[in-house]
Amino acid sequence: MKISNVVNIDDMAVAARRYLPRIAFDYIDGGVDGEAALARNRQAFDRYKLLPRYLVDIEKRSQATRLFGHDYAAPFGICPMGIAGFFRPGADLMLARAAARFGVPYVMSSASCDSIDAAMEQAPQTTWFQIYGTRDTNITMDLIRRAKALDVRVLMLTIDTPVMAKRERNMRNGFRRPMKMTPSVILQGLSRPAWTLRYLAKGGIPMMENWRPYAGEGATANDVADLFGTETPAPAQTWDVLKLVRKAWPGPLVVKGVLHPDDALKCLEMGADGLVVSNHGGRQLDSAPAPMDMLPVIADAVGGRMELLIDSGFRRGSDIAKALCLGAKAALFGRPAMFGVAAGGEAGACKVLDIFRQEFSLVMGQMGWTEVGQAGPDCLLDLANPLAPARHDDPVS
């Protein structure tokens, strides 16, 4: 499928499926265990219906959003995603440039293939940086030091990966360390020659550049990947890691992977500036609730004292609108962006961002919103509680 023929995110997933071998597509698309969380993430959006208001002048509409003291062009951005370069060489920087072009945040993963140094050189105003707690805290502290030296605006600490999850699609496909070239994997590669030739031309397994300095001089891509796999996850880490990160990082700090309101309050108490309400895209605990179900609970708990973001399952502009109504300042998405950059490089990433921008603009028009701050609980009907519909205040007054 040509990128020019893509009209929605589902189309982009089809385009990515046609370009990537199954082992690569399933790594992006898959979840954990029986993938119930994947389905739950999407079903949670259906719980809410948007209540439109008409006969409002919506000719001029602005998606402008302020996050952690800086202005962005829309209330959405790109999640941190590791090893994007495996799916298309240079993907991390393509995503960074696409986000910069659209004026929205791109959160570079510390497990990316391209470096935070290169991303900040090409997209300094919109690139944030994500880290994990590591078994060797010196590595975590050094990643923070490097981010400070580069003037990264926002640091994100992911906390929802204390153990490696059982990702059954990966197990069936053989996507593991070390990767073995089984007959099945070889056949998959032969069935997708464009991807395979590009992969081989770049030398196979890509380097995780952010981790290269910690593997020693002359380390290979496999050596660096092995080091990352040894250092993360760090099952012994506790709230002390957040305390250390908060002390070391002077700028806005966002904690990613929060689902429990008590954890949200603990993050607030320890000085976090924001949260990403997330179940890791359904890739960690299959029985975890959908972030959309927990967002209003967490929003109520923190009471506007920190900025809330949300990810997991976003596929439509209307999904973003519903999240804003429930208390999020912005929504992040990962798989759509990865599908786009895999299928079409930087143009594919831009196409995904444009789809979300256009869809959200249309939803704003239908809702009677001229700015994103008009989204609120009055604009929603909660089907799980139909006897308590939206209040009758004018949401655009």
Asked if 184 and 37 count as a contact pair (C-beta separation under 8 A), the reply is no
Tokens of residue 319, six digits? 């999904």
Residue 392 annotated as catalytic: no
Q: Residue 38, Cα to own-chain centre: how many angstroms? A: 14
- For residue 333, give the H/E element and its range: strand 330-333
Tokens of residue 93, six digits? 């920087």
Asked if 280 and 335 count as a contact pair (C-beta separation under 8 A), the reply is no
- For residue 45, give the H/E element and its range: helix 36-46
Tokens of residue 101, six digits? 């072009």
Distance, in Å, from the CA atom of 242 to the CA atom of 267, rounded to the nearest integer, reads 8
* DSSP per residue, 196-242: HHHHHHTTSSPP-GGGGGGS-TT--HHHHHHHHHHHSS-TT--HHHH
Beta strand 127-132 with 155-158 is: parallel
- φ/ψ region of 93 (left if φ > 0, alpha if ψ in -120 to 50, else beta) reads alpha
Name the residue among 381, 383, 364 with its Cα closest to residue 373: 364
Residue with the two structure tokens 């402008």: 64
DSSP state letter for 126: T
- Look at the alpha carbons of 302, 305, 306, 312 in this order and tell me if their dihedral is positive or negative: positive
Asked if 109 and 130 count as a contact pair (C-beta separation under 8 A), the reply is yes
Indicate which residues carry an active-site annotation.
280
